[in-house]
Structure 1
Amino acid sequence: MSSSETYRPFDPWRTSPVKEESRKQIVATHYFNVDQVSLSTPKAGQFDRFVLQGNNGDGVGVLALTDDGRIPLVEQYRIPTHRWTLEIPGGHAEDPKETALDVAKRKLHEEAGYTATSYVQFSRFLNMPSFAAHHTALFFATHLSPADRASFGPETPRPDVRLYTLDEAYQMVVNGTIVDAKTIIAILRLYTAPDHNLGQ
């Protein structure tokens, strides 16, 4: 068998190697819950894992592009890592009725100070499949107009918005200045798209 061959095609839904014995919720918050899951296998016996479940649907990120070809990135102070990041606008639904598109529109307005007439969802990915059952949906927003921004929480009351060309943003991904996963995925996707356009 050559290195390019495989014994079977990839199937993400094939039979599970573990059996779920029980599950109980041990943490509940506005954005996510944590379940304690008991599992077993014939060889390893029983063991526990902790799984993060997102509330109110997907997380959302918005890759926006101004008419002059610049991407708004928001400076955010992130408590878990005690550092500042540059990120595309993003967030979560405030209630179960708010759709991912609604979140995209709200976050672009609140965080970056823009509205858009065109939104296209171009990606959806698992954040940390090793311990979280939570997706992020990415939207491409164009035909922007400036709008008043909102105040934020105590971590970053009113973060700065910086505008970068796609080439500048790409270089910041490559050199490690941008470390936020949704922002990296969005910028690389746009950088490799034909004509740098995700709206088709």
Structure 2
Amino acid sequence: MIKKWKKLDSKYLITSDWINVRADRCKRPDGGIVDPYYVIEERNWVYVIAFNSDMDVLVVRQYRHGAGIITVEFPSGDVALDKESPIEGAKRELLEETGCTAESFDLLMECYSDPSRYTNKIFAFMARGAQKVCEPSFDENECIESEFISPSELAALVREGSFCLSHHLWGAIMAMEKVGQKGWCV
């Protein structure tokens, strides 16, 4: 039977509003010591797969410095700690990044981003009836372009590797099945 490790000690190496990194000293069930085991604490993430009345899907393009690439992805961001629920964060991010709201929001999935190192969860929402109501309001370091594209255009972006965030891919598959686009990307 698999058992949890016992945390013997923990020391924060980096603390900030955005991310915390800690080094844990742990004891495995077999008695072995793991020192250090690095853990990254981040806020929970949300993203929104938003369809308009024509059943086109909303995507954003932005620069992602970690990988040094421009990505095509769904509107997304962090959930404000102790200030909002995941659905409130999803609605806020959709409005801030695209200037859009939607008639309905449904939770598609909730999962861990990478439970081996990260503590945060990811919440994927599907929104219907999305429409632009105002200009976007970007965070200081954001430069984002948004547009509605057809499901077949999204599938082409997936195949060419431009739409490449793994958790967004799973959400896209689930959302496309929900709207009757089974086998949409094959």
Structure 2 length-normalised TM: 0.86
Which residue does the alignment assign to 1:49? 37
Which residue does the alignment assign to 1:32? 19
Question: Does structure 1 residue 105 correspond to structure 2 residue 91?
Answer: yes
Residues 146, 162 of structure 1: CA spacing in aligned structure 2 closer, same or farther, 3 A cutoff?
closer
The answer to whether the 8 A contact 2:99-2:137 is kept is no
Which residue does the alignment assign to 2:149? 164
Shift of residue 36 of structure 1? 1.3
Query: Deviations along 1:156-179, whole A, 9 cap, x unmatched?
Result: 33x211221112212322331211
Distance 2:102 2:54 in 1: 14
Please point out which of 177, 183, 189 is paired with 2:162.
177
Shift of residue 196 of structure 1? 4.3
Unaligned runs of 5+ in 1: 1-10
Shift of residue 128 of structure 1? 1.7
Name which of structure 1's ranges 167-176 and 79-88 shifts more when overlaid on structure 2: 167-176
The alignment covers a number of residue pairs equal to 181
Structure with higher Rg: it is 1
Shift of residue 152 of structure 1? 2.1
Q: Tell me the secondary structure at the aligned position of residue 67 of structure 2.
A: coil
Shift of residue 194 of structure 1? 6.2
The answer to whether the 8 A contact 2:12-2:21 is kept is yes
Which residue does the alignment assign to 2:63? 77
Q: How does 1:1-200 map to 2 (within 5 A)?
A: 14-16=2-4, 18-41=5-28, 42=30, 44-55=32-43, 58-157=44-143, 159-193=144-178, 195-196=180-181
| One-letter amino acid matched to 2:24 | V
Q: Tell me the secondary structure at the aligned position of residue 130 of structure 2.
A: strand
The answer to whether the 8 A contact 1:169-1:187 is kept is no
Structure 1 length-normalised TM: 0.81
| One-letter amino acid matched to 2:3 | T
Q: Tell me the secondary structure at the aligned position of residue 185 of structure 1.
A: helix
For the aligned residue pairs, the C-alpha RMSD in angstroms reads: 2.2
The answer to whether the 8 A contact 1:22-1:37 is kept is yes
| One-letter amino acid matched to 2:69 | R
Deviating beyond 4 angstroms after TM superposition, the runs of 4 or more aligned structure 1 residues are: none
The answer to whether the 8 A contact 2:98-2:136 is kept is no
Residues 167, 83 of structure 1: CA spacing in aligned structure 2 closer, same or farther, 3 A cutoff?
same
